[in-house]
Structure 1
Amino acid sequence: MHLNTLLLALASTALAKPTPPASARLWATHYNGNVYTLELNGTDLAIKQTLKTCGAMPSWLTLDAKTRTVYCSNEDGTNDPSTHGTLTALRAAPDGRLQEVAVTDTVGGGVNSVIYEADEGKKYLAIAHYEGSAVSTFALPIENNQPALQEFHFNMTHPGKVAQQDSPHPHEVFLDPTGSFIVSPDLGADLLRVYSINGDSGKLDECPSTNVTFGSGPRHGVFWTDGTDRTSEGATHQRKLAAVGKTMLYVVNEIGGTMMVYDVSYSRSGCLSLEKKQTIVPYPKGVMPDGATPAGIKRIGNALYVSVRTDQGYKPNDSMVVLDRSPKDGSVKVRNSSSAFGKVPRTFVINRAGNLVAIGDQASATVAIVLRDRQTGNLGDEVAVLQVGEPGKVGSAEGLSSIIWDE
């Protein structure tokens, strides 16, 4: 090969290889009662602040980027009204350090939350309460001892397929692409609960739920649309009367070990309807290892990412799986898998630039920063890994519980 040609080829390869940013910040929660501020500088990841806050079991962080407020859910408590969890508002300084500014009681078992907007830009927070068997909402910003705006409490007439389905267990709340609806996968009741957002009051109105195959245990989901799109964490939603173009929903089921694909339609009744189109096992060769469970799901473009807990696919670590969405009909198939660089990847988040993935490995209590190729969508090498708090026992509410980017 001619020398100039060789140099050009090497330069092209160097330019194409993903590189980490000079610096970035993250926040993490641990079931030990701490919230951590982390700082990434090149390949160095370090703890910059350890703050005792958010109750006995900090479980989830949601950032309001405009006000620099982080809302932390405390998973303590059950559906017994004598117990409760808490919601804590933390002010984020420019350097990422957090300061507690308000705390209020909630239904027990808060495991996930999402910020949504009503008319005139008024903001609200919806919370999924796993052990509390409920969904609640709060007007933002919260104040000390502020009562909930709403509480939806759920019951079951018959237990589910496994012991874990002894009662309703909402595991997530997330917005549709129009910002007008919230979906909550209920792992205990095998339901996808749907709510429309009242633009005047900010309250949620219940829509008909979608039944999920008995014993599936829906855990997390993500939308895709060819109209109003959201491809990164923390993007702003614009409320619209109906979705633009085709919309689909992808849900991972913890107990059944499957992924389900739904067509989404917006009816004149003012609700969102779901029609199942596909069920697959989101794992190489279509077989989920014994004891392994899908956990989180994210999407950028037509690439979907699923974390798999306790599969030990890359011993002693678990796996991340990449799936491809067909532009033709929206169906998915497994592309490949890679290491989660830790045990029990409970949560993971893709940064706004799309070149880094932060994986929160619960049992090993590690945060792993992994390269993502923005052209192919494949996950690559580990940039940095850091133990944050004490490791937890597999299968218990111990260890690292959530991770988000400060952006």
Structure 2
Amino acid sequence: MVYLPILDLSLLSSSLRSFTYSSLRSSQNPLADMRFQHDSAGRLAISAVAVNLYVSSYSGILTSLQLTPSAQDSGADGYILTATASNNGSGPQPSWLTKDSYNDVIYCVDEALSTPNGTVTAYTTSKSGLLNLIDSQPTVVGPVSTVVYNDGKALVAAHYSGSAATSWKILPSGVLKPLQTFIFNLTAPGLDPSRQEAPHPHEVIIDPTGSFIVVPDLGADLIRVFSIDPETSLLTESAPFHAPAGSGPRHGTFLRADCGNTFFFLISELANTIASYEVEYSATGLNFTNVFLSGIYGNKTIPDGAAAAEVTLSPDHKFLLTSSRNATTKVPSDTLQSWSIDHATGELTLKQIAPSGGAFPRQFSINKAGDMVAVGLQMDGRVVVIERNVEDGTLGDFLASIDIAGQVTSVIWDE
């Protein structure tokens, strides 16, 4: 096992350097015992406005949370996370939540690890956090990601275990109507036959023009590309991009840079890499040219067992935040990585390796202001909210945390 002290400690946040194994073992929720020191200039401005978050977990329950600032007269710093409502999910294993900003609807998909079909479900939101059911539809097994496209007219899903992508028309009522199903096949297993025995689409991502959907396929080492018909919301598959063999593309995000160029950032689970591609548009699809490639820990040794997971663009488009799971070592916390973006070239610079607050940060979300990150810790069954410096992109104090039943799979802000 490789331990975190091999890393360049100048990249590690002060929060991680203050960890001690004994303090983390002293509480069922290790964050309850941790205090961090920051100078006053670096403190987060405490907002008086409460905000809702929604959490999915393999318990089969969707949990509504409210994040509120601690009472100023209590002497406490930070925020409080409170569970305000719970709903039965769309099935036994809810795996992903999407907020539809066009229609103010939450979409939840169920991975259906133990049933023959997945499910996609729509809910309306409320100030109280209670989710009200609109519609629930069966779908191909194994959905793990969705995105709304075509100006709120349709939804598309990636199906990991179902080796598929499906699309749905969004009716004015919020009810979903099936549009298309794409089933993918492999002629032979990939370099890692234990994970690449079949196509495994892992995310659906819309490009900055709203004209294309791309799908990282972990099993096939492909970035699948689909054009969008704006009149019908129908998707047409074009030539895919071939990622490095055995890399296992997992998640990605686009950037329309200040210079006018478009870049795509791809995190690959099996290779534990983060890559930048310059994107060129053609009449039939997208072309990708690699301009940057790095291990998820920069030029440092990747801990044994690590599995790169999520990549998210900051609201100001200046930084990327990535996560690595399953590398909990001497210090019992997996990590998040902060990267600055060179808008002229698409190259990345690693700025920080910071603690995620626990084990297996499968997914995280940045709030609209960019000053907080909500992290879903799958194996700890916990949501953690971390302070983020919008000026330099680095993470700071843990502001709040709450235990969630089951393995947490997704957490999103309702803003």
Task: Give TM class, smaller chain.
Answer: 0.7 to 0.9
Which residue matches 1:154? 184
Amino acid at match of 1:283: Y
Given candidates 369, 380, 386, the residue that maps to 1:353 is 369
Amino acid at match of 2:242: N
Distance (whole Å) between structure 1 residues aligned to residue 401 and residue 329 of structure 2: 18
Distance (whole Å) between structure 2 residues aligned to residue 173 and residue 86 of structure 1: 16
Which residue matches 1:234? none
Residue 344 of structure 1 pairs with residue 370 of structure 2: no
Distance (whole Å) between structure 2 residues aligned to residue 314 and residue 251 of structure 1: 29
Given candidates 214, 217, 223, the residue that maps to 2:248 is 217
Q: Report how far residue 147 of structure 1 moved.
A: 5.0
Which residue matches 1:24? 51
- CA 294–318 in structure 1, closer or farther in 2 if over 3 Å, else same: same
Q: Report how far residue 330 of structure 1 moved.
A: 1.5
Name structure 1 gaps, 5 residues minimum: 1-12, 228-243, 391-398
Deviations 1:313-335 (A, max 9, x none): 67211101111222342211321
Say which is worse superposed, 13-22 or 128-137, in terms of deviation. 13-22
| TM alignment of 1:127-146, pairs within 5 A | 127-141=157-171
Deviations 1:294-330 (A, max 9, x none): 1000122231111110222672111011112223422
What is the percentage of aligned positions where both structures have the same residue? Answer: 35
Residue 183 of structure 1 pairs with residue 191 of structure 2: no
Q: Report how far residue 342 of structure 1 moved.
A: 1.4
Distance (whole Å) between structure 2 residues aligned to residue 258 and residue 211 of structure 1: 15
Distance (whole Å) between structure 2 residues aligned to residue 144 and residue 201 of structure 1: 17
| TM alignment of 1:343-382, pairs within 5 A | 343-382=359-398
Given candidates 88, 106, 124, the residue that maps to 1:91 is 124
TM-score (normalised: structure 2): 0.84
Amino acid at match of 1:326: D
Which residue matches 2:278? 263
Residue 207 of structure 1 pairs with residue 234 of structure 2: no
Say which is worse superposed, 144-153 or 172-181, in terms of deviation. 144-153
Q: Is the 8 A contact 1:303 1:325 kept in 2?
A: yes
- CA 96–66 in structure 1, closer or farther in 2 if over 3 Å, else same: farther
Query: How many residues matched?
Result: 364
SS at match of 2:250: strand
Q: Is the 8 A contact 2:166 2:182 kept in 1?
A: yes
Deviations 1:82-117 (A, max 9, x none): 921111111112322101121111111000000001
Amino acid at match of 1:361: L
Distance (whole Å) between structure 2 residues aligned to residue 220 and residue 21 of structure 1: 32
Q: Which has the higher contact order (CA 8 A, sep 6+)?
A: 2
Q: Report how far residue 248 of structure 1 moved.
A: 0.6
TM-score (normalised: structure 1): 0.85
Residue 252 of structure 1 pairs with residue 260 of structure 2: no
Deviations 1:207-233 (A, max 9, x none): 110001111000000111126xxxxxx
Which residue matches 1:285? 299
Amino acid at match of 2:47: P
Distance (whole Å) between structure 1 residues aligned to residue 338 and residue 176 of structure 2: 42
Q: Is the 8 A contact 1:77 1:132 kept in 2?
A: no
Distance (whole Å) between structure 2 residues aligned to residue 317 and residue 28 of structure 1: 20
Q: Is the 8 A contact 1:369 1:384 kept in 2?
A: yes
Residue 383 of structure 1 pairs with residue 399 of structure 2: yes
Which residue matches 2:334? 318
Say which is worse superposed, 326-335 or 35-44, in terms of deviation. 326-335
Misfit runs of 4+, over 3 Å: 13-16, 141-147
Q: Report how far residue 19 of structure 1 moved.
A: 2.9
- CA 385–190 in structure 1, closer or farther in 2 if over 3 Å, else same: same
RMSD: 2.0
Q: Is the 8 A contact 1:344 1:361 kept in 2?
A: yes
